[in-house]
């Protein structure tokens, strides 16, 4: 591993832990992603994490608060890290090629299909509360 990779690993570790500590499972390679996407039943909230400020200040806090607050809980909370776990992120994006790559973003996968997608454009520049409410609204509609 080169010095840059080691440096980035240290930078992103707290960003990974923020979601993991809230109950998200990291899918760090293509095999993990394929297994989850093909085997999981019910609803998955998928956070495509990133190092940008809107991930730190908006996406991660909003989705964490939403899943902790909402009455209808998704069955699965998973995350891939764009720019870090490249194979896992590419594999994840292959499951919803109809939407342009976007990070951070939040995908809602239900029973083998993309049920809803919140791209970066609907996160960046928003208030955290409005992103949280958006996530909660989606979950109230799609989780049984």
Considering the candidates 30, 54, 118, 139, report the single residue annotated as catalytic.
Answer: 54
Task: Report the CATH number at residue 20.
Answer: 3.40.30.10
Q: Which domain holds residue 123?
A: 3-142
78-132 per-position pLDDT tens digit: 999 999 999 999 999 999 999 999 999 999 999 999 999 999 999 999 999 999 9
Q: Does the annotation count 128 as an active-site position?
A: no
- Model confidence, pTM: 0.95
Q: Does the annotation count 52 as an active-site position?
A: yes
Residues 6+ apart with CB under 8 A from 19: 26, 47, 49, 60, 63, 64, 77, 79
> What is the token pair recorded at 113?
């299909």
Whole-number pLDDT of residue 90? 98
Considering the candidates 15, 27, 45, 52, report the single residue annotated as catalytic.
Answer: 52
**Cβ proximity of 73 and 44 under 8 Å:** no
Query: Per the structure, how many domains does the chain have?
Result: 1
Higher pLDDT: 1 or 11? It is 11
């Amino acid at each position: 591993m080169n010095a840059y990779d080691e440096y980035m690993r240290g930078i992103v570790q707290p960003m990974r832990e923020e979601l993991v500590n809230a109950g998200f499972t990291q899918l760090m390679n293509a095999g993990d992603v394929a297994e989850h996407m093909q085997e999981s039943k019910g609803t998955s909230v998928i956070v495509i994490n990133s190092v940008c400020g809107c991930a730190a200040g908006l996406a991660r806090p909003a989705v964490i608060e939403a899943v902790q607050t909402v009455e209808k809980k998704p069955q699965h909370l998973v995350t891939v890290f764009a720019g870090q776990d490249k194979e896992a992120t590419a594999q994840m994006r292959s499951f919803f090629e109809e939407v342009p790559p976007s990070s951070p973003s939040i995908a809602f996968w239900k029973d083998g299909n993309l049920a809803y997608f919140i791209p970066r454009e609907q996160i960046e520049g928003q208030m955290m509360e409005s992103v949280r409410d958006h996530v909660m609204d989606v979950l109230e509609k799609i989780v049984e």
